[in-house]
Amino acid sequence: MSTYLTTHSSHASESGARKALRVSAALLLVIVLVPLFCLNSLAALICFKAPLRRQTWIDVSAQPVSLLGWQVGIFKRSAALLNVVSGRIRFVGNPLLRDGVSMPRVARLHSPCGQPGLFDCLWLHSLTGLSVDKPLALLHAQHNQSLFADILLVFKVLLCLGLYRKSASTPSSSELFGIPFSNTRMQVAVDWVVKGSAETDTQGCQSAYYINVNSVNLSAGNAQLYQVLQNSDRNFIDGSGMRIAARKAGMNLADNNNGTDMLPGLCQAAAENQRSLFLLGAQPGVAHKAAANLSQQYPGLRIAGAHHGYFDDDEQVVDCINQSGADIVLVALGSPRQELWIDNNKHKLQAQCALAVGGLFDFFSGNIARAPMWMRELGLEWVWRLIQEPKAKFNRYVLGNPIFLFRVYVLQQALRGL
Coil, helix or strand at residue 118: strand
Q: Could you tell me the pLDDT band of residue 106, with boundaries at 50, 70 and 90?
A: low
Report the percent of the chain where pLDDT is more than 90: 73
Q: Could you tell me the pLDDT band of residue 415, with boundaries at 50, 70 and 90?
A: confident
Residues 6+ apart with CB under 8 A from 278: 303, 304, 305, 306, 307, 321, 324, 326, 328, 329, 330, 351
Residues 6+ apart with CB under 8 A from 206: 196, 197, 199, 200, 233, 234, 346, 352, 353, 354
Coil, helix or strand at residue 48: coil
pLDDT tens for 3-41 read 333 334 434 456 777 788 888 888 999 999 999 999 999
pLDDT at 196: 79
Over residues 278-289, the mean pLDDT reads 96
Q: Could you tell me the pLDDT band of residue 96, with boundaries at 50, 70 and 90?
A: confident
Residue at 362: amino acid letter? D
pLDDT tens for 167-206 read 768 888 999 999 999 999 999 999 999 987 655 455 689 9
Q: For the structural domain made of 173-416, what CATH number should be given?
A: 3.40.50.10700
pLDDT tens for 344-385 read 999 999 999 999 999 999 999 999 999 999 999 999 999 999
Report the percent of the chain where pLDDT is more than 70: 91
Q: Could you tell me the pLDDT band of residue 302, with boundaries at 50, 70 and 90?
A: very high
Q: Do 351 and 329 form a contact (C-beta atoms < 8 A)?
A: yes
Q: What is the DSSP string of 273-319?
A: TT-EEEEEESSTTHHHHHHHHHHHHSTT-EEEEEE-S--S-HHHHHH
Q: Do 278 and 325 form a contact (C-beta atoms < 8 A)?
A: no
Q: CB neighbours (10 Å) of residue 179? A: 21
Sequence spans of domains, the chain: 2-164, 173-416
Residue 103 has pLDDT above 90, yes or no: no
Angle between helices 213-220 and 223-230 (to 10 degrees): 130
pLDDT at 202: 52
pTM (2 d.p.):
0.86
Residue 2 has pLDDT above 70, yes or no: no
pLDDT tens for 246-260 read 999 989 898 999 999
